[in-house]
Amino acid sequence: MSVMRRVDEQKSQVTIAIDGRFDFAQHKAFRDAYREVDAKQMKFVVDLSGASYLDSSALGMLLLLRDYAGGDATRVTITGCSEDVRRVLKIANFEKLFQLD
């Protein structure tokens, strides 16, 4: 269970990769991964290819990131979703709030 951040200055992109369970235990690490980033200059990619599970607190954390990024669906992209994770995101109508790749 970890949260990793990669910053690509050339692409103006921050990638936050989640490995393992994405739940409340990752709240501080997830917040710290974007908190020091200038949201006006960067786009965010949340890589869930290593996530085996996400719960309602993870959905809330994604919404907080979206708000931090300015509330625009194009500023935050969620990638690498397994079938189960994608199903949870679709049930929550997150395809309307985020770009899902």
Read off the CATH number of the domain in which 76 is found.
3.30.750.24
Residue 1: per-residue pLDDT: 60
Residue 100: per-residue pLDDT: 92
Bridge partner list, 98: none
Residue 20: per-residue pLDDT: 93
Distance CA 86, CA 29 (A): 22
Look up residue 25 and give its two tokens. 């235990």
Q: Which domain holds residue 32?
A: 2-100
DSSP, res 37: S
Count how many domains the chain has: 1
Q: Which pTM was predicted?
A: 0.93
Would you say 51 and 21 are in contact if contact means Cβ atoms under 8 Å apart?
yes
Q: Residues 30, 35, 39, 42: is their CA dihedral positive or negative?
A: negative
Is pLDDT at 78 greater than 90 in this prediction? yes
Is pLDDT at 72 greater than 90 in this prediction? no
Half-sphere exposure of 23 (CA within 13 A, CB side): 7
Would you say 73 and 84 are in contact if contact means Cβ atoms under 8 Å apart?
no
Provide, rounded to the nearest whole percent, the portion of the chain with pLDDT above 70.
Answer: 99
pLDDT tens-digit map of 24-34: 999 999 999 99
Is pLDDT at 73 greater than 80 in this prediction? no
How many CB atoms neighbour CB 88 within 10 A?
Answer: 17
Is pLDDT at 56 greater than 90 in this prediction? yes
